[in-house]
Amino acid sequence: MRHVADIPHPDMKLTLLAWNGKYLLKCEQGSLEQTYKVSEMDLLGADADLPKLLDDTFVAAVLRRFADMRADFAAALERQDLV
């Protein structure tokens, strides 16, 4: 796996990796992680094309998903009396 870039963002860590003919966009917030895989053929110029993908709508959806993931995990812990 090859590290391509770190993408600055105030609310999460964004890392672009290349592996096995794919770009992996890794989004991290605390202990949670989301990974998006895109064929290198679909993003021939990752440096130019990736910022287009990371528009406000996409980033907002990723952040909402993190909130949902956190809530789902907390609810599971509570159902099992683990908190």
Domain that holds residue 52: 2-79
Give how many domains the chain has, as a whole number: 1
Global confidence as pTM: 0.88
Please state the φ and ψ torsions of residue 3, each to the nearest 5 degrees. -75, 125
Tens of pLDDT, residue by residue over 24-49, are 999 999 999 999 999 988 876 666 67
Banded model confidence at residue 51, pLDDT cuts 50, 70, 90: confident
- How far from 69 is each of 4, 17, 23, 28, 56, CA to CA, in Å? 27, 23, 23, 12, 20
